Chains A and B, each alone.
Chain A
Amino acid sequence: MFNILQKTFRVGIATSNYPQADARISAQFRGRPQFDFTVWRDARPAANVCPTGAIAIHDRAQVRQVTVDYGRCIFCGECAEASSDGAVRMTREFELAAAARGDLVLKADYALLPDGSHAGLKEAIVVPARARLGKRVDAAIQKLLGRSLAIRQVDAGSCNGCEQEIVALNNPIHDIERFGIHFVASPRHADMLLVTGPVTRNMELALTKTYAATPDPKVVVAVGACGISGGIFGQNYASLGGVDVVIPVDVYIPGCPPRPEALLHGILLALGRLGTLRKNSAS
C-alpha cells in the first residue's frame, strides 16, 4: 500500500491540459492535409495514390471537379508526396470534427486543359471548418461544468485502431472523466453512442438494437474514416460503409484513428448539440 501511494506522489499530475492549452503533439504528426486550390495544377497524381478515394476527380465537358473528403482520409500523406506543385501540404491540425457530413467535403471546379492537367480555378467550396467549430466548443466546455455525460462505445466492425485511442481517453494523460464524461457498460445508461466502423453486415443488427436500447435524447458520434464513410473498406458484400448508413449520426470525427485529443474535441462538439436536444425534449 505504501509503495502504491509513494509511486503516485512521485509521479504527480500527469494529465494534459487540452483543450484549455495546446495538445502536446510531435512535430512529425500527420494531421489534416491542406489544399491550396488556387495553385493546384494537377490533382491526378494525388488522386491516383490516395488509398481510400478521399481525393476524387470528376471530369465533365471542359470542367474538372476535384473533391477532397476528410471523412475518407486516412492521413497517410501520400497526396502531399505525389503533388509536385506544392498545392498539398500536411499540417498538424487534428480538430476536424463536424456536425454535418457535407462539412468534411471540399470541392473545386477547374477548367480542364487538353493535356489532362487543369487551370483556372472556377469555383471552390472550402469550408472554414475550424473557426466555426471553435466557438461552439468553447461554449460547450462552459456548459459542461457540473454536467455528466455517459458514453457507450460500439465497435461496429472496426480494425481496433480507433478502440486503442478511445481507451486512451481513460488513461491519466487524457482523463476524459475530468469533464464529467465516462464510459458505461450498457446502452441503457448512455447519453451518447460512440461508434466505430465500417458497419459490417454482421454488426448491423447489433448496432440497430444498441441504438434502440439507448434512451432519448441521445447523440451518435461516428469515429474515424471507417465510421464516417467505410474508409478503406468502403462498401462491399460484407461492409455497409459508414455508421450513418444504419443509424442517424450527429457528429463525425475524422482520423485513422483520430488521436485522443481529436476524439475529445468531437465529443465536446457533440455536447453542444446535446444541450439543445435536451431542451427540446424537455419542452
Chain B
Amino acid sequence: MSFQQELRQLFPGQIRSVDATGNNEIVILLNRSDVAPFAKYFLAEHHARLATVFAEDRVAPERTYYIYYVFDRPGESPWLILKVPISSYEPSFPSLAADMPALNWQEREIQDWFGIVAQGHPNPRRVALHDNWPDVHPLRKDFPLEMVLPPFVGEQHVYRPTLGEGVFQIPVGPVHAGIIEPGHFNFAVAGEPILYLQLRLFYTHKGTEKLFENMPIHRAVFLAESISGDSAFSHGTAFCEAIERAANIQVPSRAQYMRTILLELERVTNHISDVGAIATDVGFVIANAHAGRIREMLLGICETLSGNRLLRGMVSIGGVRRDWDESQLEALEPTLTLVEREFRDLVRLIESSDSTLDRLEHTGILRPEKAKMLGVVGVAGRASGIDLDIRRDHPYEAYSQFDFRVPVYDAGDVWHRTQVRIDEVGQSLRIIRAAMAGLPPGPHRAPAQPVPPGNCAMSAVEGWRGEIIHWVRIGENNRLERCKVKDPSLNNWPAIVEAVEGNIVADFPVINKSFNLSYSGTDR
C-alpha cells in the first residue's frame, strides 16, 4: 500500500488533496484544522521530526489562513508538509506545544504575527512582539509594511520572580559587554550556580518577512543575505533554491559546485572562529589570536572568490553572479593547506592545555533526550546525539557527489560542541578539495526567466549552525507573496536554557558561545 493510500485509510475524509508532484516535498492538504492525530502518527509510526511550523495569510484570495507543518522522515528525501486551513473568523488552531516543546516559540510566533490563537498553549504569552507593542499582527496582509506605530514606553515584560533566601536575579542586556548581538538574559542564581535562565529575544526584529512580501525577487536575494550576516551565503542560497524549485529553474552543475565550495568555506570560517572564541571565553586568549589569523586567511579566499569577505553579492537565482578564472582558483589550494596546518596547531594548543579542557568538559551539558524533545538541530544537536545533516539527508547543490562523515557525539557538553566543529572543519576541507578537483566547465548561471505566480516551494540548507529553511510563495510580476525563514537558532535557543542550569554564572559566556546562535536570524 502506498504512503498516500495508507494515509487516506487511516484518516478517512480528513485529507482534501495530496500533491506529490514536487521532487522535494509532498504537500497534504487537510479538510480541517485537526492536526494532532496526523502529527502523532508521523512522529510515532514514521519516527518523523517536526522541523518547523508557520502560517500564511490567504484571507483575501481564499478566505482562509493556512498553517504548514513540515515533517522530516528519516531515510526519506521529500519533506512532508501538512497544509491546514484555518478559518478567518476568530482564527485559532490546536496547540501541540504541550506534547512537543519544540513548537513552543513557533506557535507563539504564529499568534503574534497573525493573531491566530494557539488553543491550549501552555504558555501563550507573546514571544516575538514585545509586551510594549500595541495589539497588531504585522504578517496579516491588511497590515501595511510602513505602518507607523505609536511610541513605545518602557519595558513591560514580567519575568518569573526570583524568590528565596540568598537567591538573586541578574539581568543582562540587551546591550552586552562584548561585540555581540542584543538580547536579554535574566538569570536566577543561588550563589554561583544558575537556577534558571529566562531569555528575551526579538530585539533585532526588523520586519524581514514582511519586507519580503511584494519585493521583486532579484532584490530579495540581497535581503536573504541580510537575515544573519555570518550566514549570508547559506541564507542567500536557501532563498535562491526555494525560488529555483518554485520556478523549476535548473541550476547548471558548475554553479552547484561553486555554491558547495562557498557554503563549505562559510562553515570552515565560522567554525574556526568559534573554536577560538570558545577558548577565549575560558581565558585561553592566545588560541583566539591564532583563530583570528586563520579566519583572515579564509576571508581573503572568500573575497577573492566572491568579491566580499562575507560572501555577499555572489549567489543569485539560477546560480552565482560571477564565474571564476584560473587566477582566482590558484590561490585556493595553498591557502587551504596553510589553514589546515595552522588549524591543526591551534587544536593541539587547546588540547594540550589541561586548564582549558577542564573548563570545557562537563560544562553546559545538553542531554540527548532534552535535545530531541526541543528539536535541536545543527552543531548543538550533533553534539547531543541528534544525527541530522541536511547535506546528507536531503542533498542539495553538489553534495550527493561527495563523501563526508557527519560527526555525532552524546556527551552534549561545551567540549563536544567544540569537537563537532573541529571534526567538521576537516570534513569541509575535504569537500572543498573534491569540489575543486571536479569543478565542471559550463555556465555559472541559468538564463534569467520569469517566475510563474502562485507557485510555492521549500528549501533546506545545512548552514554552519544547522538547518536553515525557506518557504516561498511567488506573487505576480516576479515578486514575492510570502517568504518564511527559519534559522537554526530558533530551535536551539531554548536548549541554552537547559544547558546552563546548575552551571556557574561565570561559565555562561562559554556555554552561550558554544551554541553561538544568531539573534538576527531568530528575530528577523
Contacts and interface: CB of A to CB of B under 8 A. Distances in A.
B465 to A, nearest CB: 12
Nearest to A4: B286
Contacts of B178: 185
A49 B229 CA distance: 22
A1 B179 CA distance: 29
Given A172-B289, A236-B146, A163 B205 contact: no
Contacts of B120: none
Contact of A11 (B205, B206, B293, B300): B293
Interface string B176-199: 011111100000000000000000
Contacts of A28: 303-307, 328
Interface in A182-218: 183, 185-187, 198, 200-206, 210
B83 interface: no
B181 A155 contact: yes
Contacts of A272: none
Interface stretch (B21-29, B44-52, B207-215): B207-215
Contacts of A161: 226, 229-230, 232, 310, 312
Contacts of A231: 226
Given A4-B349, A201-B152, A160 B181 contact: yes
Contacts of A139: none
Interface string B144-175: 11111100101100000000000000000011
Interface string B128-150: 00100100101000011111110
Given A235-B146, A236-B146, A3 B348 contact: yes
Interface residues of A, number: 67
**Interface bin, chain B:** 35 or more
Interface of B is mostly: loop
Nearest to A167: B179
B455 to A, nearest CB: 23
Interface stretch (B33-41, B216-224, B383-391, B412-420): B216-224
A258 B287 CA distance: 26
A74 to B, nearest CB: 6
B476 interface: no
Contacts of B508: none
A35 interface: no
A197 B403 CA distance: 41
A49 B218 CA distance: 8
A74 B221 CA distance: 13
Contact of A26 (B293, B295, B303, B310): B303
B230 A160 contact: yes
Interface centre among A237, A239, A257 (most CB of B within 10 A): A237
A233 B208 CA distance: 7
B177 to A, nearest CB: 4
B54 interface: no
A58 interface: no
B203 A157 contact: yes
A3 B293 contact: no
Interface centre among B179, B208, B289 (most CB of A within 10 A): B179
B485 interface: no
B293 A14 contact: yes
Contacts of A170: 179, 292
A51 B222 contact: yes
Interface string A47-81: 00101100000000000000000000011111001
Interface string B405-443: 000000000000000000000000000000000000000
A259 interface: yes
Contact of B229 (A163, A173, A183): A163
B204 A203 contact: yes
Contacts of A239: 206-207
A101 interface: no
A52 B215 CA distance: 11
Interface centre among A8, A24, A173 (most CB of B within 10 A): A173
A231 B211 CA distance: 12
A168 B296 contact: yes
Given A203-B203, A236-B207, A159 B226 contact: yes
A117 interface: no
Contacts of B145: 236-237
Contact of B143 (A201, A202, A237): A237
B227 interface: yes
A205 B154 contact: yes
Interface string B287-327: 00110110110011001111111101100000001000001
A160 B520 contact: yes
A209 B221 CA distance: 35
Given A7-B349, A28-B303, A76-B313, A160 B229 contact: yes
Given A161-B312, A200-B205, A25 B181 contact: no
A171 B208 CA distance: 31
A52 B221 CA distance: 12
Contacts of A164: 229-230, 310
A190 B280 CA distance: 23
A238 B305 CA distance: 35
A201 B155 CA distance: 12
Contacts of A237: 136, 138, 143-149, 207, 210
A158 B181 contact: yes
5 contacts: A28-B307, A77-B321, A155-B179, A155-B180, A158-B181
Interface of A: 3-4, 7-8, 11, 14, 24-30, 49, 51-52, 74-78, 81, 153-168, 170-173, 183, 185-187, 198, 200-206, 210, 226, 231-233, 235-239, 256-257, 259
The 10 closest A-B pairs by CB, nearest first: A161-B229, A171-B292, A185-B177, A238-B207, A159-B229, A76-B313, A160-B229, A51-B222, A30-B307, A26-B304
Given A28-B307, A165-B310, 4 more contacts: A155-B179, A161-B226, A168-B292, A173-B293
Interface of B: 130, 133, 136, 138, 143-149, 152, 154-155, 174-175, 177-182, 202-208, 210-211, 218-219, 221-223, 226-230, 232, 286, 289-290, 292-293, 295-296, 299-300, 303-310, 312-313, 321, 327-328, 345, 348-349, 352, 518-520
